[in-house]
């Protein structure tokens, strides 16, 4: 069981899902230490609540010291796509270094944010990399919980927010293929609750984190339009044609909006769970409550993670 009042370490407490986890831990009175590549990034937590430490994956001794005294390590570190010096191969090597440091520092529990349907045989490096890390964690000496979210929605969301942004600006929405493939969105707060609950005990386990509702991609686009009070026409194109349009828009907003691999994973139904849903919040209700800010501005992945380092 977790030790009340002991330090909890999070990678990415100033980012998306990590922030929701940090909020729950701070509310519970737990001392939180954040390992980050951006210690100067603006955030909502006072220094007395969340201590920011620069991670150093290339220095095992320093990485181990950053984990000293930690009861639980919540790991949200990963890369959505390869850009600049960041690659899936580098992210895998860095996470393996983090696992070794956690072992050496005597961390009791390793809670890892993965993704639904990872596979060592996947042709998609994102999903194959996630599976490799799950295996590394399972083969470690650590008690672990692997949490596998589907597609996460929340105020800071990029995917659903930017879909809404497109719908606000254009009456036509490009859909790769038939649009009949499935998504099962899960609220960021539900992911945080699943993760923190999993950190509280010692049994090694793997848990899908998915919401209560499943939609086809076509349905999702139409539901977003409905929440915004907009009308939209779906334009079904080949994946290649859709990607070409997305890349043109990406040049205009100076961002990587969606990758070929992400389209392939979406069309392969990898963003749905085959377990009973653990999330409770419904996307339709959330969109109705947040309709005025959903898609009100474009959310840039490159601005969030790469620019201004």
Sign, CA torsion 130/201/197/215: positive
Please calculate the CA angle 178-276-291 and round it to the nearest 5 degrees. 60
Q: For residues 203-221, give the mean pLDDT.
A: 98
DSSP state of 281: -
Instruction: Write out the two tokens for 198.
Output: 């999993």
**pLDDT tens by residue, 258-287:** 999 999 999 999 999 999 999 999 999 999
Q: CB within 8 A of 94, min separation 6: which ones?
A: 57, 77
**pLDDT tens by residue, 15-57:** 889 999 999 999 999 999 999 887 777 777 887 788 888 888 9
Reported confidence tier of residue 309, pLDDT bands at 50, 70, 90: very low
pLDDT given for residue 36 in this prediction: 84
- The burial of 85, by beta-carbon neighbours within 10 Å (0-12 exposed, 13-18 middle, 19 or more buried), is given as exposed
**pLDDT tens by residue, 61-111:** 999 999 999 999 999 999 999 988 889 999 999 999 999 999 999 999 999
Q: Is the pLDDT at 308 greater than 70, yes or no?
A: no
Residue 187 contacts residue 154 (beta carbons within 8 Å) = yes
Neighbours of 280 (CB within 10 A): 12
Reported confidence tier of residue 297, pLDDT bands at 50, 70, 90: very high
Structure-model confidence comparison of residues 244 and 47, the more confident one: 244
The whole-model pTM stands at 0.94
Q: For residues 234-243, give the mean pLDDT.
A: 98
User: Are β-strands 70-75 and 233-237 bridged in parallel, bridged antiparallel, or unpaired?
Assistant: unpaired
pLDDT given for residue 186 in this prediction: 98
Q: CB within 8 A of 199, min separation 6: which ones?
A: 2, 8, 72, 74, 109, 111, 145
């Amino acid at each position: 069981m977790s030790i009340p009042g002991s330090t909890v370490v999070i990678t990415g407490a100033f980012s998306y899902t990590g922030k929701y986890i940090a909020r729950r831990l701070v509310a519970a009175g737990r001392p939180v230490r954040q390992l980050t590549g951006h210690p100067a990034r603006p955030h909502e937590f006072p220094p007395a609540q969340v201590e920011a430490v620069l991670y150093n994956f290339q220095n095992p001794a320093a990485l181990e010291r950053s984990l000293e005294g930690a009861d639980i390590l919540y790991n949200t570190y990963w890369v959505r796509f390869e850009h600049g010096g960041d690659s899936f191969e580098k992210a895998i090597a860095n996470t393996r270094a983090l696992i070794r440091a956690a072992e050496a520092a005597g961390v009791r529990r390793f809670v890892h944010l993965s993704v639904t349907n990872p596979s060592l045989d996947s042709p998609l490096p994102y999903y194959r990399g996630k599976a490799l890390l799950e295996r590394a964690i399972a083969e470690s000496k650590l008690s672990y919980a692997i949490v596998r979210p589907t597609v996460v929605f929340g105020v800071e969301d990029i995917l659903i927010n930017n879909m809404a942004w497109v719908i606000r600006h254009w009456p036509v929405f490009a859909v790769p293929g038939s649009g009949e493939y499935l998504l099962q969105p899960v609220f960021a707060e539900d992911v945080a609750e699943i993760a923190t609950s999993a950190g509280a005990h010692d049994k090694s386990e793997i848990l899908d984190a998915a919401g209560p509702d499943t939609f086809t991609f076509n349905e999702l686009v139409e539901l977003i339009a409905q929440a915004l009070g907009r009308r939209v026409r779906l334009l079904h194109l080949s994946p290649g044609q859709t990607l070409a349009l997305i890349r043109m828009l990406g040049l205009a907003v100076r961002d990587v909006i969606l990758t070929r691999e992400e389209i392939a994973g979406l069309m392969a139904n990898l963003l749905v769970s085959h377990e009973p849903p653990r999330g409770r919040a419904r996307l339709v209700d959330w969109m109705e409550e947040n309709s005025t800010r959903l898609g009100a501005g474009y959310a840039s992945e490159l601005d969030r993670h790469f620019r201004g380092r």
